[in-house]
Each structure stands twice: as structure tokens, then as C-alpha cells.
Amino acid sequence: MLIDELKTLPESEQIRLLAESFPAHVLDYAADLRLANDGRAEESERRRSISALVTETVERAKTGRQRMIDDLERLNGYPSNPRKQSVTRPATPEETMNSTKEKFKLLTGKEV
């Protein structure tokens, strides 16, 4: 019954729903099987090679982006992602006390 309802939708809507419902590798496998069953193995192979090229390009872009972020962090002396640990010198006791006083003032509105 759901298949019949799916077939009544426009093709773009069918593709969107399938993409949301299944992981990409499952859809790729299904497309390859369909092409192979239709006697279009060369088209299946071409599609698979394009998919591999796209995946490789995306991975290169990710690593290139991370390399650029790392370079900027090195130049600035601090990480752009505050959750990322950086190697810094330990705070002096005076810096620790000043930081604690600032936090106390922010929380209570009173100076120490």
C-alpha cells in the first residue's frame, strides 16, 4: 500500500523520501542492482566510479579545510574551536586569582 502511495508522488518527492529513509550506500547498492538487472552494467560501473570520485573529493576537501583551520590556529596562537584542547602554559597564581575574582563578580555582582 505504501509503495502505491509513493508511486503517486512526483519523482523528485519520491527521491527525497527515499534519501531521508535509507543510508546512501543502500540506495547506491539498489541502483547498481537495478542497472545490472536491466543489462546496463557499464552504466552501473560508470556511476560507481563517479560516486567514488565524489566521495574522494569530499574527503580531500574535509582534510584540506581542517589543515587550513590548523594553520590559522597556529598563526593566531589559539584554537578556533574552544572545545579543542591546545597546548598552553599553565596559568600563574595571580592569573588564576584574577580569573576567579572576575567569575565571582559576574556571578554575584560583588567585588572581592
pLDDT in tens, 56-95: 777 777 777 777 777 777 777 766 555 655 556 777 888 8
User: What are 1-41's pLDDT values in tens digits?
Assistant: 467 777 788 877 777 777 677 666 666 767 767 766 777 76
DSSP secondary structure string for all residues of 78-105: S-SSTTS----PPPPHHHHHHHHHHHHH
Strand ranges inside 35-74, DSSP E = none
User: Do 112 and 105 meet the contact criterion of CB atoms below 8 Å apart?
Assistant: yes
The region, left, alpha or beta by phi > 0 then psi within -120 to 50, assigned to residue 25 is alpha
pTM: 0.30
Q: Is 77 helix (H, G, I), strand (E, B) or coil?
A: coil
Looking at residue 86, its pLDDT comes to 54
Backbone angles phi, psi at 50, to 5 degrees: -65, -40
Every domain of the chain and the residues it spans: 2-85
> What does the pLDDT read at residue 27?
66
* Residue scoring higher pLDDT (26 or 106): 106
